[in-house]
């Protein structure tokens, strides 16, 4: 069997490339593996040679030490790969298929999966509904920032690209299908974005930029992106978004200036829809821009969104945060102005994006040149060995989406 190198979490602020076992069709003990999953057989799985595996902001939460992730955890839940072996129970996926892997691991058999709620599958994580590759408290499935990875329930989970040559020519865009593009799209759909909508998106990281791209795809009239990072805001402006630097003060006042006479005559400047693409490490606005205030974004979105509007919350919130600003935040308890949201009849949708609900249609939009998601999020392929530097640069606010390219296939496919 070939060697298998992977990105390993080594403790707060540290990742390294190490050799790990080649995938098999049985779960073994190891860092983060749920004890009830040890020995679990996966004849329904497939082994993939990793074509691309992206660094995600959710990975950064673990690497910063802001979760209970154990040292030694193999990272990576944004996986695109080529099938090189299939288990005896796999019927439709074939060796040689190039596929997108939804970051949600789902069985396809439980009630939630059958209802399309693949982000909260009941059968893959013994602790609670929902699972993902290489992520804390998600059952212990090995991450895909590696040369090779196992995907369980392959016939159900894998999205096969129709044509290999076409896929490799657009592989950097297609690599966004595993998480951030569907997640940003889900945030917008949850917030009711449609033709003519005015939309405010909190966060200009990759998920926020993917949400902004999705808002345009859904027909929004105005897309406003708020962040503290001017380089990331410039990236949002590069594809037509208006921007708000929340370090300069209350975003409501800046949104008012953008909407101008299109704003409602009564009350504060209000958008139709809002998306939280920041999550639990949010910072304050204005003078508090360097202070962590985890409820800031959600409260600001309730302020900014019109009565009867909706708020999509794809940004990550956790039940355990060792670095939380207070005891409440350490268990995911935030000081929300729920009364404001109630008074304005807001709707909220939270939780993992059910990737399979959207990935095929978004794939078609990419293949038929309806969207340039890789350009909009500034996706940059790098070799696996450069992952530690990629994590460091991303943590410092680089306006890039780093795509790990373990076998050089992304760079070769685009040449």
- Tell me the pLDDT tens digit for each residue of 116-134: 999 999 999 999 999 999 9
Residue indicated by tokens 């992977």? 6
Say which CATH number the domain at 121 has: 3.90.180.10
- The answer, yes or no, to whether residue 206 has pLDDT greater than 70, is yes
Single residue among 334, 350, 366 that ends a domain in this structure: 350
Question: β-strands 347-350, 305-313: how paired?
Answer: parallel
- The answer, yes or no, to whether residue 276 has pLDDT greater than 70, is yes
How does residue 292 score in pLDDT terms, banded at 50, 70 and 90? confident
Instruction: Identify the weakest region by mean pLDDT among 29-43, 201-215, 244-258.
Output: 244-258
Mean pLDDT, the chain, rounded, equals 94
E strands, 191-342, are 198-202, 222-227, 242-245, 271-276, 305-313
Most trustworthy range by pLDDT among 234-238, 263-267, 315-319: 234-238
Sign of CA dihedral 393, 394, 400, 403: positive
Give how many domains the chain has, as a whole number: 2
Sign of CA dihedral 123, 125, 127, 132: negative
How does residue 415 score in pLDDT terms, banded at 50, 70 and 90? low
The span from the CA of 410 to the CA of 193, in Å, is 32
Instruction: Note whether 122 and 129 are within 8 A (CB).
Output: yes
- The answer, yes or no, to whether residue 53 has pLDDT greater than 60, is yes
Identify whether residues 195 and 216 lie together within a single domain: yes
Angle at 277 between CA 185 and CA 393, to 5 degrees: 110
pLDDT digits (tens, 9 = 90+) for 297-355: 999 999 999 999 999 999 999 888 888 888 988 888 888 999 999 999 999 999 999 99
Identify whether residues 159 and 197 lie together within a single domain: no
**C-beta atoms surrounding 219 within 10 Å:** 11
Identify whether residues 242 and 344 lie together within a single domain: yes
The span from the CA of 212 to the CA of 248, in Å, is 21
Query: What local confidence, expressed as pLDDT, does residue 414 receive?
Result: 61
- The answer, yes or no, to whether residue 266 has pLDDT greater than 80, is no
Identify whether residues 313 and 343 lie together within a single domain: yes
Identify whether residues 205 and 168 lie together within a single domain: no
Identify whether residues 234 and 250 lie together within a single domain: yes
Query: What local confidence, expressed as pLDDT, does residue 46 receive?
Result: 98
Query: What local confidence, expressed as pLDDT, does residue 66 receive?
Result: 92
Tokens found for residue 128: 């609670």
Residue 21, SS3?
Answer: coil
Mean pLDDT, rounded, for 156-160: 98
Task: Read off the pTM.
Answer: 0.96
Identify whether residues 307 and 204 lie together within a single domain: yes
The span from the CA of 382 to the CA of 79, in Å, is 14
The span from the CA of 113 to the CA of 96, in Å, is 27
Identify whether residues 10 and 120 lie together within a single domain: yes
- 149: β partners: 48
Instruction: Note whether 90 and 154 are within 8 A (CB).
Output: yes
Mean pLDDT, rounded, for 152-162: 98
Tokens found for residue 325: 């600003």
The span from the CA of 309 to the CA of 273, in Å, is 6
Query: What local confidence, expressed as pLDDT, does residue 331 receive?
Result: 87
Of the candidates 52, 71, 53, 50, the one whose C-alpha atom is nearest the C-alpha of residue 4 is 50
**C-beta atoms surrounding 166 within 10 Å:** 13
**DSSP assignment letter at 98:** E
Single residue among 325, 350, 375 that ends a domain in this structure: 350
Q: How many residues does the chain have?
A: 415
How does residue 245 score in pLDDT terms, banded at 50, 70 and 90? very high
Single residue among 322, 350, 378 that ends a domain in this structure: 350
Residue-number span of the structural domain to which 252 is assigned: 180-350
Mean pLDDT, rounded, for 383-390: 97
- The answer, yes or no, to whether residue 83 has pLDDT greater than 60, is yes
Per DSSP, helices labelled H in 96-238 are 111-114, 154-157, 164-169, 171-174, 180-190, 206-217, 230-237
Say which CATH number the domain at 343 has: 3.40.50.720
Question: β-strands 242-245, 222-227: how paired?
Answer: parallel
Instruction: Note whether 101 and 79 are within 8 A (CB).
Output: yes
Identify whether residues 194 and 123 lie together within a single domain: no
Query: What local confidence, expressed as pLDDT, does residue 250 receive?
Result: 86
Identify whether residues 11 and 145 lie together within a single domain: yes
First to last CA, the chain: 30
Mean pLDDT, rounded, for 72-84: 98
Identify whether residues 367 and 400 lie together within a single domain: yes
Identify whether residues 229 and 141 lie together within a single domain: no
* 232 membership: H or E segment, kind and range: helix 230-237
**DSSP assignment letter at 146:** B
The DSSP annotation for 290-324 comes to TSB-TTHHHHHHHHHEEEEEEEEE-S---S--TT-
The span from the CA of 335 to the CA of 299, in Å, is 9
Query: What local confidence, expressed as pLDDT, does residue 261 receive?
Result: 57
């Amino acid at each position: 069997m070939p060697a298998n190198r992977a990105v390993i979490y080594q403790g707060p602020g540290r990742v390294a490339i190490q050799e790990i076992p080649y995938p098999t069709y049985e779960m073994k003990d190891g860092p983060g593996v749920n004890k009830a999953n040890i020995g679990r057989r996966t004849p329904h799985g497939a082994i993939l040679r990793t074509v691309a595996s992206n660094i995600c902001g959710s990975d950064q939460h673990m690497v910063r030490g802001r979760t209970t992730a154990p040292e030694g955890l193999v990272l990576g839940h944004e996986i695109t790969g080529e099938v090189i072996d299939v288990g005896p129970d796999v019927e439709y996926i074939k060796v040689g298929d190039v596929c997108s892997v939804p970051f949600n691991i789902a069985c396809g058999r439980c009630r939630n999966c059958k209802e399309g709620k693949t982000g909260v599958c009941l059968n893959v994580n013994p602790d609670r509904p929902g699972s993902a590759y290489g992520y804390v408290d998600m059952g212990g499935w090995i991450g895909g920032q590696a040369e090779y990875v196992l995907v369980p329930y392959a016939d159900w989970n894998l999205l096969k690209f129709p044509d290999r040559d076409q896929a490799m020519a657009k592989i950097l865009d297609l690599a966004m299908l595993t998480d951030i593009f569907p997640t940003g799209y889900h945030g917008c759909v949850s917030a009711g974005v449609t033709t003519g909508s005015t939309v405010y998106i909190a966060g200009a990281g990759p998920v926020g930029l993917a949400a902004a791209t999705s808002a345009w795809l859904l027909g929004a009239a105005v897309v406003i992106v708020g962040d503290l990072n001017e380089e990331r805001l410039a990236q949002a402006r590069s594809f037509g978004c208006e921007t708000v630097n929340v370090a300069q003060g209350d975003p409501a006042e800046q949104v008012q200036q953008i909407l101008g006479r299109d704003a409602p005559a009564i009350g504060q400047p209000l958008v139709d829809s809002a998306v939280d693409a920041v999550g639990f490490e949010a910072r304050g606005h204005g003078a508090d821009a360097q202070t962590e205030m985890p409820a800031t974004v959600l409260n600001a979105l309730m302020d900014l969104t019109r009565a009867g509007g909706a708020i999509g919350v794809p940004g990550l919130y956790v039940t355990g945060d060792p670095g939380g600003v207070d005891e409440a935040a350490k268990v995911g308890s935030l000081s929300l102005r729920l009364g404001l949201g109630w008074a304005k009849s807001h709707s909220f949708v939270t939780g993992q994006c059910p990737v399979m609900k959207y990935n095929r249609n978004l794939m078609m939009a990419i293949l038929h040149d309806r969207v340039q998601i890789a350009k909009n999020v500034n996706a940059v392929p790098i070799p696996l060995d450069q992952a530690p530097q990629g994590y460091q640069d991303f943590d410092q606010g680089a306006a890039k989406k780093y795509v790990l390219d373990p076998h050089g296939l992304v760079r070769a496919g685009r040449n």
